[in-house]
Structure 1
Amino acid sequence: MRTGIELHRARVHYGPLEALHGVTLAAPSPGLTVLLGRNGSGRTTALRALAGTAPLTTGTVTWDGTDVTRLTAHERARRGLCFVPDGQAVFGHLTVAENLRLCAPAPHPDTTPALDAYPELRPLLPRPAGTLSGGEQRMLALSRALLTAGTCPHTQVILIDEPTQGMSPAVATRTYDLLIALSTRSRPTCVLTAEQRLPPGLREHAGRTAVVVHELRRGAVVFSGEASELSRPEPQA
């Protein structure tokens, strides 16, 4: 039985500063989970701890009930974890087409699924990825993750930090539709994203799809539950 990926009483330090204060949270599989929090809340650190790029000071990471705390990031990737960070998530010196081909199986790499998901990338195929706008780079990074999930049968967990950063509202909505589809396909995946705010429409999806939300503040979890249970933000005056 697959239970997803979890942090248990996780503490992470950057030098003398503690970024996570005994955080416990779970991202079920299959399903979509969103980590909410402002900058400095610990949401990015939580993702990095799950991916293995931020070592725990204390606590554990479990994956389908197995303790993987001591596995390195590349060992977790080999086991089926895909991590899309919020910074340099593409190879800037390679073209868009070359970035996509790296995630498609040889000898005949097919990047059509990525371009169908983000047709905006088609005219950009010959351009170096480093020359793209922020939103275009996020589309490329997400399309690489979609290709990995679609072509690698062992991919089980996808972690994405701010997947829609720089995207237009329409493309952002399409992106979450794609991620929800990933979590509910015939070979379902545990999808975990980190956002500053709950993406529009996810409350409405909650009745049809499992959308779990964990909200972090100052390195601690202050809410865990369904997206529909999260308090709506107060309207701006």
Structure 2
Amino acid sequence: MRTGIELHQARVHYGPLEALHGVTLAAPSPGLTILLGRNGSGRTTALRALAGTAPLTTGTVTWDGTDVTHLSAHERARRGLAFVPEGQAVFGHLTVDENLHLYGGGGPKADITPALKAYPELRPLLPRRAGTLSGGEQRMLALTRTLLAAHARVTLIDEPVQAMSPTTAARTYELLTSLSAHTCVVTAEQRLPPGLREHASRTAVVVHELRRGAVAFSGEASELS
């Protein structure tokens, strides 16, 4: 197991407020990493710092041992980083079908079968505009980009199961666990997903718990009380 992406002594400011206070954390590749914390803990900012959408005030971001701190978000995406932010993460004016084909490479011949196999609930919604879907349906659609982005080497997801039913949420974490068997997956969560410790036997599950912009715990999921 090797390190996929890391923050080193990262500080991020929003105006005069410092959201991250010298955060250092690492996500293995392959493997599943959870950034755990309540609202305001800094977990979303840490994820955005890795993605390049929240510039660092000081500190570095390294990816496979290379400093990518000054690479823009779109340059990181071009190198194989996929980011699914919290909330509105779909193209609301496009149909579900158009969103899926865009995620699959943009062409009309893009294979969207993996997305519909993972979330068959989307099939009858293909002609609908994405902005008219429920919160859980939009989340499913947003997550399909992690299945259709074949070049992705690092996948960052903020609140992956937000607004999903318990059954769909459990299926989503099964999908993410399968994905993390061959790539680096980092998610931000308010609490440790039920049953996650069971996945530790199949793939590395690392947890970094953040509190008030600092790391309070780093270790395996099984070690977290």
Q: Which moved more, 1:203-212 or 1:65-74?
A: 203-212
Give the Å deviation of 1:2. Answer: 4.9
What SS does the corresponding residue of 1:4 show, helix, strand or coil?
A: strand
TM-score normalised by the chain length of structure 1 = 0.92
Q: How does 1:77-96 map to 2 (within 5 A)?
A: 77-96=77-96
Structure 1 residue 111 and structure 2 residue 112: aligned? yes
| Alignment length (residue pairs) | 224
Q: How does 1:1-237 map to 2 (within 5 A)?
A: 2-105=2-105, 106=107, 108-148=109-149, 151-152=150-151, 155-184=152-181, 188-231=182-225
Structure 1 unpaired stretches of 5+: 232-237
Give the Å deviation of 1:205. Answer: 1.5
Structure 2 unpaired stretches of 5+: none
Give the Å deviation of 1:107. Answer: 5.3
Q: Distance in 2 between matches of 1:192 and 1:35?
A: 7
Q: Distance in 2 between matches of 1:137 and 1:210?
A: 28
Letter in 2 for 1:203: R
Give the Å deviation of 1:59. Answer: 0.3
Per-residue deviation, residues 92-111 of structure 1 (Å, max 9, x unmatched): 00000000000224351111
Letter in 2 for 1:67: D
Q: Distance in 1 between matches of 2:183 and 2:89?
A: 20
Letter in 1 for 2:198: E
Letter in 2 for 1:51: A
Letter in 1 for 2:218: S
Q: Distance in 2 between matches of 1:3 and 1:193?
A: 16
Give the Å deviation of 1:207. Answer: 2.6
Report the RMSD for the aligned CA atoms in angstroms: 1.1
Q: Distance in 2 between matches of 1:200 and 1:33?
A: 15
Q: Distance in 1 between matches of 2:31 and 2:70?
A: 25
Q: Distance in 2 between matches of 1:27 and 1:133?
A: 32
What SS does the corresponding residue of 1:200 show, helix, strand or coil?
A: coil
What SS does the corresponding residue of 1:215 show, helix, strand or coil?
A: strand
Q: Distance in 2 between matches of 1:122 and 1:85?
A: 23
TM-score normalised by the chain length of structure 2 = 0.97
Preserved contact between residue 6 and residue 25 of structure 2 (Cα < 8 Å): yes
Q: Distance in 1 between matches of 2:131 and 2:104?
A: 20
Q: Distance in 2 between matches of 1:102 and 1:205?
A: 31
Q: Distance in 2 between matches of 1:178 and 1:196?
A: 19
1:234 counterpart residue number = none
